[in-house]
Amino acid sequence: MKKIEIMDTTLRDGEQTNGVSFVPHEKLSIARMLLHELHVDRIEVASARVSDGEKDAVTAICRWARQAGMLERVEVLGFVDGTTSIDWINDCGCKTLNLLCKGSERHLKYQLKQTLQEHVAAIKQSLDYATSLGINVNLYLEDWSNGMKDSPNYVYDFVSALKDFNVQRFMLPDTLGILTPVEVSRFMTQMKEWFPTLRFDYAFTPV
């Protein structure tokens, strides 16, 4: 029987909810409950570079997780910003980076204002640097759902350019919640047909 793996984002994405803000000891308590009591497979606990308080929280979570033998289950969202996010995550003692990349041609052109080649080159530099510090990297393809609807060739070219690098997972989010269940099934099947040896996560926000 296939196992369903759950990565909980309460402490990162959930904290973006209006009026929700956790102090460091609250984050640590929630992280311990998710991993130790609820047995969630993985948790994404923060975005890099947010604040000193956030850094204190991530450091405390990673310290506890290391002692509990669960450090590999703690992840932090980071950005393609040279070494800045990676250094922040490394300083906290975290060993898994979810690197936010552009999963649609629209985001690449109008937000990043780069070519695919420029974006991929910057990602490869981040991958090399993270690997040198012993940090595992998942690639988070922001706006992947729109990418599959509007620019599937871009998605294919993006993943093809990075599939042979040291990427643990390609994370495929429905960032804006635009896909129907049928579309999710079709697009995930398509990704597996294109890249049968790669590991994919599907990410969604429940309502």
**Token pair in block for residue 11:** 């402490």
Annotated catalytic residue, options 44, 75, 105, 142: 142
The verdict on whether 199 is a catalytic residue reads no
Please calculate the CA angle 140-82-104 and round it to the nearest 5 degrees: 35
CA-to-CA separations, 18 to 14, 21, 97, in angstroms, rounded = 9, 9, 25
73 among known catalytic residues: no
Which helix (H) or strand (E) segment holds residue 74: the answer is strand 74-79
CA distance 30 to 106: 36
How far does the chain reach from its first CA to its final CA, in angstroms?
A: 28
Annotated active-site residue in 12, 42, 73, 169 = 12
List residues with catalytic annotation.
Answer: 12, 142
